[in-house]
Structures are given as C-alpha cells and as structure tokens.
C-alpha cells in the first residue's frame, strides 16, 4: 500500500506578478515530484490560486535497493554477534560499551532509505549553474528574477472612483513594500513618470504593453498612480467638400416657399382631422373645392354643423376657427367676418359673458381661448335658459334672429338639412317634431336585445312602417339620428317619449336601430317611486 505526504500550495492573496513566475512555481513542484490533485483559480485574477499536492513517501522497488537492504541486514547481524562475544568474554567496562554504541549511531544514516530525500533539481539542465544552492534572499537580489515596476503594482491596483481605469496610492505602496517615499519617487522617475507639483497639472501619459499610466496629485497632496487601456481608434477624420446652394433656388421668392410650407401644413392638418372634426371633417374638407365662397346666413351654420365636435365644457358642440378655415378652404379672418354678419361677435372683455344669438331655434355664440383662437359654439335652446335677441346683421338669418320669427326651411337647402348625420347636436324639438313621429311608429317593432335595450335591423323595420330602406334611413336621419360609417363610431342619442334612440353598425356592415329607456325618464321614475314610498 502506498504512503503519501500532502502539501497545501497557494499564490497568496494578490497572486503572481507575471505568468512566467507562475510557470516557474509549477515547474519546481514537478521537479520535486509533487502531484497537484486540486487547483482553484480566482475568477477575477487567473494568476492567483490555491490548491493541494501530494507525493509518495516510498521509493519504487529496484534490484539495487534490495541488495543494499540485504547487505545492511547482514552487517547488523555480524555487529550484534561481535558485541555479544565481547561482552561475554571480558565483560568490558561501561565506557567501552558506550563508545561502541556511539560509533554504531554515527555509522547509521541520518535519514532512512525508506523516505525520499529532497534534492534541488531546478538547475539540472543549466550547465553554467553553481554547484552550491542559493537561498531565497540571493534569488531576490538577482535583477532577472524581480518583476518590473508595472507588473509589481498590478496586484495593488483598485478601481478608480473618479474616472476610468485602476489606481493605487503611493503611500499605500510604500507601506506594502517597506520603502520610503523618496525611493519610490526615484523609481517612478526612472520608469518615465513625471511627478506632478499641483492638482491642476495636466497628466503626462506613458505607455507600457498597450496600457497608459500617469500620475496625479489630489487635494490632500497624495500622489496616485493611474492606469487604463489605451483607446483604440474607431474612425478616421477626412475633410469634406462644401456644397454651395444653387443660384436658381436662392432666387425663388420667399412667398412661394411660404405658400408651399402652408400647403404642407394644411395637408397634415386634414389628415389628422383638425381639432375635433373626426372622419366627417376630413371627408367634407376633401370634397370642398378650392376657392369656394362661404355660404351666407344660416346656411353657413348648417355647413359647419357636421364639422363641430362635442363641447367639453357644456351642452352642444364647438369648433375652432383654425380647423374650420382649413376645412372650408378659406381664411380665418373671412370666417370671423361671416360670423359677425350673423351677430356672432366676441364679448367686450374676456371676463364678460359671451353674446348668445338664437338662429333657427338653436343658440350660437363665439369666444376666444387662452391663446386667442376663435371658437364657435352651438346648442339646442331647451338645453339652456332664455336668450336675449341680438340683431345679426344684414343677412336673412340675422333679421329672423332680431324679430324672433322662426326661420323658413325654404331658405336652407335640403342638402344642408340631410347632412345632419355628422352633427354633434340635433335640431330642436320644434324643428324635429314632424320627423320624430317615425320613432313612435317604429318603437313597437324593436326586438329585445341585451338587458334593457331593444334593437332591430333597419331593413326589417322599413316594411313595418311602409317605407323603403333608404327612405326609412333618411327619415331617421331627419329625426336627428346619426348614420355611423364605422362599427365603433360614437353614436348620437335622440330622446323621444322617454326612450333614447341611436343608430349603430355591426362588424358585418348591418345598420341597426337601438332604443333604451333614457336617463331622464329613468331618473323621474325613481323620484316618483321614492315619493310614493314616503
């Protein structure tokens, strides 16, 4: 059975300075016949490791070793026999016995042959090597065995807290190497460093094996050694050729360039749908021809009604002058003048109440926002209080507003009234009373759909009221309902006889008429039942 001896090997906390020193250490272990059975390197420093090595304590059996052992045994037997004869014959003195024992001990080797003797084999292949072994101190004094200054400081470098790279303090190195500050400064000068005299001095870089080194002085007067990777070039600077503008482009009038930019902005505004006109606004703006004059009187209001969006601060709808001017292909100033002809003028001061005008049973007024933009607003008369009559200029609509007589439907084209599907607020009950009779006639034919709602296809409802599908849809539109173009378009609700009616479109492109109990009727019913309970 083999007998082993073990040895713990380690490079220390900082590791070896160079890979050459690590290779020499491992080669020395091999020459001493040590076998490394465990080797663990640090992940951040491959030159630092710890491990375990072993080697056998018995020699391999050979014939010469066996013969030498047999000779030793014979010699011991003969010595024992002569010693016995000597003691038996004369019974010699005690001093003679002690001298014989001392001589026997002197003849014995200091180390038994069973264990391997340590021999330095590091210089066996060197013919010029000295016969006498050198101690560690002599090896350290040899310049070839010492690491360079840059390799020696590498284990002491730490991450620089004020910039890229690594750094080490001069005072820290003096303590670790047991050197004076003057000796270390002299070594720095020999390596090519320039000692800084002020903290604002620009660093002087030196290069060693692809790394940059420099010294700096901090506010406390401490010298620090810094290093970082040498930056690699990533581009090459080449001069470019300056291009002079074309003289023909410079000669173009500035007004032409402005008109082109304005046209581009108008196109982008139409694509976005302006301030709130939605899809109906973009379609109406696209269908209008350039240079078309603005309608006069109430026809202008009927034309801009589909372009208005729901008012966010009250009932009815509103539209900005900038969007309406782009949609109607006119200037905002011309639009403001047309509104003034109808009596729609700004208030005297921003804090005054806007001037409201009743035209064709609807209430209209204009105001300015915080940025000075013009807005026109409209609502049904029954959604607010009494409105003072204000004379609206020389147009027919203004005269009717001044006298308080209802406007004639003949003065408004039928196409303007039929374009109401895109309107945000429906006509007043007085104007829509004749059309709302179709809702009363069709209400019993609606089928129950979801909880609390009723719906049916307009194609199925048209024969029930004796009309064709297109005629029936036109009658619903005249009643104030909005015909949706998309399935998820926001509907317009019309209240009639306690029910709320609206049109919707399914993903299969079917047009449905829907109805449910209106919120006003439901609230009144709850109030009545509560009163009865009391």
**Residue 242 or residue 116, greater confidence:** 242
User: Residues with Cβ < 8 Å from 499, sequence gap 6 or more?
Assistant: 439, 443, 515, 516, 517, 518, 521
**Spatial distance between the Cα atoms of 146 and 119, rounded to a whole number of angstroms:** 24
Q: Nearest CA to 304 among 444, 154, 420?
A: 420
Backbone phi, psi, residue 180, to 5° = -85, 160
Topology (CATH) of 433-534: Arc Repressor Mutant, subunit A (1.10.10)
Helix residue ranges per DSSP H, 136-237: 136-141, 149-152, 170-177, 181-190
**Residue 402 or residue 188, greater confidence:** 188
Q: Nearest CA to 263 among 146, 180, 271, 61?
A: 271
Q: Nearest CA to 320 among 353, 277, 351, 286?
A: 277
Q: What is the 3-state secondary structure (H, E, C) of 340-377?
A: HHCCCCCCCCCCCCCCCEEECCEEEEEEECCCCCEEEE
Q: What is the 3-state secondary structure (H, E, C) of 161-172?
A: CCCCCEEEEHHH
Q: Which two tokens stand for residue 297?
A: 């009187």
pLDDT, position 388: 39
Q: Nearest CA to 495 among 413, 403, 383?
A: 383
pLDDT band at 391 (very low <50, low <70, confident <90, very high): very low
pLDDT band at 60 (very low <50, low <70, confident <90, very high): low
Contacts for 451-459 with beta carbons within 8 Å, 24 or more apart?
Answer: 452/516, 452/517, 453/514, 453/515, 453/516, 454/514, 454/515, 454/516, 455/504, 455/512, 455/513, 455/514, 455/515, 456/512, 456/513, 457/510, 457/511, 457/512, 457/513, 458/503, 458/511, 458/512, 458/513, 459/511
Cα dihedral angle (94, 96, 99, 105), rounded to 10 degrees? -80
Instruction: Name which of 142-151, 179-188, 234-243, 412-421 the model is least confident about.
Output: 412-421
Domain spans in the chain, listed from the N-terminal domain onward: 4-58+117-141, 63-107, 148-229, 278-415, 433-534
Q: Nearest CA to 358 among 428, 429, 415, 434?
A: 428
Q: Nearest CA to 493 among 461, 469, 518, 510?
A: 518
Of the chain, the percentage scoring pLDDT greater than 70 comes to 66
Of the chain, the percentage scoring pLDDT greater than 90 comes to 18
Question: What does DSSP assign to residue 133?
Answer: P
User: What does the angle CA 151 – CA 157 – CA 162 come to, to the nearest 5 degrees?
Assistant: 140
CB 422 within 8 A of CB 307: yes
**Residue 265 or residue 198, greater confidence:** 198
Q: How do 447-448 and 309-310 pair as beta strands? A: unpaired
**Spatial distance between the Cα atoms of 447 and 461, rounded to a whole number of angstroms:** 10
pLDDT 10s digits, 121-172: 776 667 666 655 555 555 555 555 688 999 999 999 999 887 889 999 999 9
**Spatial distance between the Cα atoms of 473 and 94, rounded to a whole number of angstroms:** 146
CA–centroid distance for 516 within its chain: 47
Instruction: Name which of 83-97, 150-164, 322-336, 347-361 the model is least confident about.
Output: 83-97
The pTM for the full model equals 0.28
**Spatial distance between the Cα atoms of 279 and 307, rounded to a whole number of angstroms:** 9
Q: Nearest CA to 412 among 422, 404, 400, 403?
A: 400
Gyration radius from the chain CA atoms = 54
**Spatial distance between the Cα atoms of 462 and 425, rounded to a whole number of angstroms:** 25
Q: Residue 72: how many CA atoms within 13 Å on its side-chain side?
A: 12
Q: What is the DSSP string of 49-107?
A: EEEEEEEESSPPP-HHHHHHHHHHHHHHHHHHHHHHHHHHHH---HHHHHHHHHHHHHH
pLDDT, position 205: 93
Residue 490, judged by CB atoms within 10 A of its CB (0-12, 13-18, 19+), counts as exposed
Three-state secondary structure call for residue 447: strand
User: Residues with Cβ < 8 Å from 90, sequence gap 6 or more?
Assistant: none
pLDDT at 423 over 70: no
pLDDT, position 345: 86
């Amino acid at each position: 059975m083999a007998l082993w001896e073990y040895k713990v090997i380690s490079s220390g906390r900082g590791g070896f300075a160079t890979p050459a020193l690590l290779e020499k250490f491992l080669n020395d272990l091999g020459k001493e016949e040590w076998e490394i059975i465990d080797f663990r390197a640090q992940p951040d420093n491959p030159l630092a490791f710890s491990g375990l090595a072993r080697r056998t304590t018995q020699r391999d059996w050979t014939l010469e070793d066996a013969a030498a052992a047999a000779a030793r045994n014979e010699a011991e037997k003969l010595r024992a026999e002569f010693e016995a004869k000597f003691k038996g014959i004369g019974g010699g003195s005690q001093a003679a016995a002690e001298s014989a024992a001392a001589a026997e001990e002197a003849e014995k080797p200091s180390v038994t042959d069973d264990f391997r003797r340590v021999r330095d084999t590091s210089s066996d292949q060197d013919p010029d090597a000295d016969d006498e072994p050198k101690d560690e101190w002599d090896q350290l004094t040899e310049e070839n065995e010492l690491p360079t200054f840059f390799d020696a400081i590498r284990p002491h470098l730490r991450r620089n807290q004020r910039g890229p790279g690594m750094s080490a303090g001069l005072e820290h190195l003096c303590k670790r190497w047991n050197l004076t500050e003057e000796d270390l400064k002299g070594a720095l000068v020999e390596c090519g460093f320039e000692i800084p005299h002020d903290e604002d001095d620009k660093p002087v870089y030196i290069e060693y094996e692809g790394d940059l080194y420099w010294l700096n002085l901090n506010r406390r007067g401490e010298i620090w050694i810094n290093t970082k990777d040498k930056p690699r070039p990533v581009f090459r600077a080449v001069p470019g050729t300056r291009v002079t503008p074309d003289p023909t482009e410079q000669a173009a009038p500035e007004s032409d360039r402005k008109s082109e930019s304005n046209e581009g902005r108008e196109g982008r505004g139409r694509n976005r749908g302006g301030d709130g006109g939605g899809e109906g606004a973009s379609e109406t703006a696209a269908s209008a021809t350039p240079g078309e004059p603005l309608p006069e009187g109430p026809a202008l209001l009927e034309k801009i009604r589909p372009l208005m969006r729901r008012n966010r601060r009250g009932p009815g709808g509103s539209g900005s002058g900038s969007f309406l001017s782009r949609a109607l292909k006119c200037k905002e100033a011309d639009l403001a003048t047309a509104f003034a002809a109808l009596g729609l003028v700004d208030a005297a001061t921003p804090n005054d109440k806007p001037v409201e005008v009743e035209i064709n049973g609807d209430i209209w007024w204009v105001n300015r926002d915080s940025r000075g933009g013009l807005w026109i607003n409209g609502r049904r008369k029954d959604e607010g209080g009494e409105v003072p009559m204000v004379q609206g200029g020389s147009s027919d609509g203004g005269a009717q507003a001044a006298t308080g007589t209802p406007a004639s439907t003949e003065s408004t084209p039928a196409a303007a009234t039929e374009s109401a599907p895109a309107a945000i607020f429906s006509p007043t009950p007085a104007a829509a009373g004749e059309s709302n009779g179709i809702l009363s006639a069709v209400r019993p034919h609606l089928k129950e759909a979801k909880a609390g709602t009723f719906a049916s296809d307009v194609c199925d409802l048209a024969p029930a009221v004796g009309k064709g599908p297109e005629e029936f849809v036109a009658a619903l539109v005249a009643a104030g309902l909005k015909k949706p173009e998309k399935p998820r378009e926001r509907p317009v609700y019309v209240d009639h006889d306690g029910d709320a009616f609206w049109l919707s479109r399914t993903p299969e492109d079917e047009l449905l008429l829907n109805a449910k109990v209106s919120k006003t009727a439901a609230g009144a019913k709850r109030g009545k039942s509560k009163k009865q309970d009391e």
